[in-house]
C-alpha cells in the first residue's frame, strides 16, 4: 500500500515508548493527550507498526468503539490478535453483534450489545486465558487500550479492571500495557483513586505536541495532493491559531485545497463554522445559561483563579455582572458532567479544542 502522504510519522517517539514498555522496569504506561491531538493515530500508525515490526504481538482495543460492552470488545480484539498470521493489526473488520470466542479450555459467546449488571464469569475467565496465550517474555505482547476512561465509567468497569490487573500482574514480563485517554479526570479515576485496581499502576506519559516539522510535512502533503503551494508563514500562523491541533489544521488545509478562491483567513472561519455545525455547538450553547456561557468563555480563555476576584472584571464585561463563586463552581461542574470541561494539570479547561476555538469566537451578543 502506498504511504499516506498525510500521516506524519512519530517513529522516534514510538521506538522510545516501545523500549520503555518492553525493556524498562515499568509494566504499563498511561498516555494522556487532549482531544484530537493524535493519540489514536500514534497508537495505531506508529507504535503498533514499530512494535509489530519488532515481532511483538499487538492488541488494540478502544472502549469508545462499543461502550456498551467493554469486556466483549477486549476479548474480541485479543482473539483477533491471536488469530492474526502476522503480528500487524488490521482494523478493517467491523465488530459483529455476537462473536463466539473459543480457546479450547474456555469458550464464550460474547454479546456486543450486552447490558447486564456484571460480565459473565466465563468471559472473565476467558480474559485470563487470553492473557496467558498472549504472554511472551521474549517479545512481550502489547495491549493498547484506548479511551480507558470509558471503561472506568462503565458499570462493569470495576470487575473488568480487577480481572485485568490480576491477569497482568501474573504475566509481568509477558504482557505490557499502554492506556490512553483524553480526559485527565477520567484517567485519574483509573490510576489515582486509592481504591482503584490500577492505583499507581502505570507510568504517566504526555503526548508531546506536534510542532513546526509537522507543519512542514503537511505542507508537502498539501503540495502533493492539490498541486499548490502554501507559504510557511501562513501555515505556521494557522497552526498557531488552532493551538497546534493537527485535526483542525488539516481541515483548514482541505478547505484551502478544495476551493482555489478561498484565502487563508476565510478558510479558517469556514473550518470552524463547518466543524461547529457538525458537532452541534449551537445547540450546546442554547442549553447554557448566561452565567454558564460566561464561565465557558473564561475556560476557553484559560483564565486563572476562576473562583477568585481576579476574573470578576472580565465576567462583568461579558455579562454585566460577576456570578458568585458558588455559581461559577456549579457551572463548571455542569460542563464537566457534559464532558465539556476537564482538568489539565489541575487547571480547568474546555475539553475539546474545537469547542474552545468556537467559544472564543462568540461575539458579545451571544452571552
Ligand X SMILES: Nc1ncnc2c1ncn2[C@@H]1O[C@H](COP(=O)(O)OP(=O)(O)OP(=O)(O)O)[C@@H](O)[C@H]1O
Counting contacts by CB under 6 A, is residue 10 touching ligand X? Answer: yes
Counting contacts by CB under 6 A, is residue 41 touching ligand X? Answer: yes
Q: Which helix (H) or strand (E) holds 206?
A: strand 203-206
Counting contacts by CB under 6 A, is residue 250 touching ligand X? Answer: yes
Pick one of Mg ion, ligand X, none as the site partner of residue 226 (Cβ within 5 to 8 A by kind).
none
Applying CB under 5 A, which part among 36-44, 69-77, 320-328, 339-347 lies near Mg ion? Answer: 36-44
Binding ligand X by CB under 6 A: which of 28, 38, 108, 171?
38
Applying CB under 6 A, the site for ligand X has a residue count of 16
Q: In what order do the strands lie in the sheet with 175-181?
A: 58-62, 141-146, 175-181, 28-32, 203-206
Counting contacts by CB under 5 A, is residue 218 touching Mg ion? Answer: no
Pick one of Mg ion, ligand X, none as the site partner of residue 198 (Cβ within 5 to 8 A by kind).
none
Binding ligand X by CB under 6 A: which of 13, 20, 22, 36?
36
> Which cell is 84 given?
492474526
Q: CA–CA distance from 318 to each of 34, 119, 287, 296, 305 (Å)?
A: 27, 49, 18, 11, 17
Counting contacts by CB under 5 A, is residue 149 touching Mg ion? Answer: no
Angle between helices 246-258 and 212-226 (to 10 degrees): 30
Query: Which of 177, 183 has the CB closer to ligand X?
Result: 183
Counting contacts by CB under 6 A, is residue 219 touching ligand X? Answer: no
Using CA atoms, how far apart are residues 244 and 228, in angstroms rounded to an integer?
Answer: 22
User: How far is C-alpha 249 from the chain's CA centre?
Assistant: 17
Residue showing the smallest CB distance to Mg ion in the complex:
40
Pick one of ligand X, Mg ion, none as the site partner of residue 216 (Cβ within 5 to 8 A by kind).
none
Nearest approach, Cβ of residue 199 and ligand X (Å)? 24
Nearest approach, Cβ of residue 253 and ligand X (Å)? 10
Strand 341-344 relative to strand 347-350, pairing = antiparallel
By the 8 A CB rule, do 253 and 8 touch?
no
Binding Mg ion by CB under 5 A: which of 40, 87, 123, 292?
40
Pick one of Mg ion, ligand X, none as the site partner of residue 171 (Cβ within 5 to 8 A by kind).
none
Nearest approach, Cβ of residue 329 and ligand X (Å)? 26
SS3 for 4-43, per residue? CCCCCCCHHHHHHHHHHHHHCCCCEEEEECCCCCCHHHHH
Using CA atoms, how far apart are residues 137 and 171, in angstroms rounded to an integer?
Answer: 8
User: How far is C-alpha 283 from the chain's CA centre?
Assistant: 24
Binding ligand X by CB under 6 A: which of 87, 182, 184, 292?
182
Residue showing the smallest CB distance to ligand X in the complex:
38
By the 8 A CB rule, do 163 and 124 touch?
yes
Pick one of ligand X, Mg ion, none as the site partner of residue 35 (Cβ within 5 to 8 A by kind).
ligand X
Pick one of ligand X, Mg ion, none as the site partner of residue 112 (Cβ within 5 to 8 A by kind).
none
- The CA-based angle 27-30-32, given to 5 degrees, is 165
Using CA atoms, how far apart are residues 1 and 332, in angstroms rounded to an integer?
Answer: 47
Counting contacts by CB under 6 A, is residue 186 touching ligand X? Answer: no
Per CB under 5 A, residues contacting Mg ion are 39-40
Binding site for ligand X (CB under 6 A): 6-8, 10, 33, 35-41, 182, 246-247, 250
Amino acid at each position: 500500500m502506498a504511504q499516506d502522504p498525510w500521516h506524519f510519522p512519530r517513529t522516534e517517539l514510538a521506538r522510545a515508548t516501545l523500549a520503555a514498555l518492553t525493556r524498562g522496569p515499568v509494566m504499563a504506561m498511561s498516555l494522556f493527550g487532549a482531544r484530537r491531538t493524535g493519540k489514536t493515530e500514534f497508537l495505531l500508525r506508529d507504535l503498533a507498526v514499530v512494535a509489530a515490526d519488532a515481532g511483538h504481538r499487538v492488541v488494540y482495543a478502544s472502549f469508545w468503539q462499543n461502550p456498551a460492552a467493554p469486556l466483549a470488545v477486549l476479548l474480541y480484539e485479543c482473539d483477533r490478535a491471536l488469530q492474526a498470521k502476522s503480528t500487524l493489526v488490521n482494523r478493517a473488520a467491523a465488530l459483529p453483534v455476537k462473536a463466539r470466542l473459543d480457546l479450547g479450555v474456555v469458550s464464550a459467546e460474547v454479546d456486543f450489545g450486552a447490558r447486564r449488571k456484571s460480565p459473565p464469569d466465563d468471559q472473565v475467565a476467558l480474559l485470563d486465558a487470553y492473557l496467558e496465550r498472549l504472554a511472551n517474555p521474549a517479545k512481550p505482547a502489547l495491549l493498547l487500550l484506548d479511551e480507558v476512561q470509558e471503561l472506568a465509567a462503565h458499570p462493569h468497569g470495576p470487575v473488568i479492571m480487577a480481572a485485568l490487573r490480576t491477569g497482568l500482574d501474573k504475566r509481568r514480563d509477558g504482557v505490557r500495557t499502554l492506556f490512553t485517554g483524553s480526559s485527565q479526570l477520567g484517567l485519574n479515576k483509573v490510576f489515582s483513586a486509592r481504591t482503584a485496581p490500577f492505583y499507581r499502576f502505570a507510568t504517566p506519559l504526555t503526548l508531546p505536541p506536534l510542532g513546526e516539522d509537522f507543519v512542514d510535512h503537511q505542507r508537502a502533503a498539501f503540495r502533493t495532493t492539490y498541486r499548490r503551494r502554501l507559504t510557511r508563514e501562513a501555515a505556521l500562523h494557522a497552526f498557531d491559531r488552532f493551538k497546534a491541533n493537527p485535526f483542525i489544521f488539516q481541515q483548514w488545509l482541505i478547505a484551502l485545497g478544495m476551493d482555489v478562491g478561498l484565502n487563508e483567513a476565510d478558510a479558517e472561519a469556514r473550518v470552524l463554522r463547518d466543524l461547529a455545525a457538525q458537532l452541534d455547538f449551537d445547540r450546546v450553547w442554547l442549553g447554557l445559561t448566561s452565567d454558564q456561557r460566561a464561565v465557558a468563555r473564561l475556560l476557553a480563555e484559560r483564565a486563572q483563579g476562576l473562583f477568585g476576584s481576579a476574573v470578576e472584571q472580565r465576567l462583568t464585561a461579558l455579562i454585566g455582572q460577576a456570578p458568585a463563586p458558588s455559581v461559577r463552581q456549579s457551572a463548571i461542574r455542569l460542563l464537566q458532567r457534559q464532558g465539556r470541561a476537564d482538568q489539565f494539570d489541575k487547571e480547568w479547561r474546555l475539553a475539546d479544542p474545537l469547542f474552545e476555538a468556537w467559544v472564543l469566537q462568540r461575539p458579545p451578543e451571544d452571552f
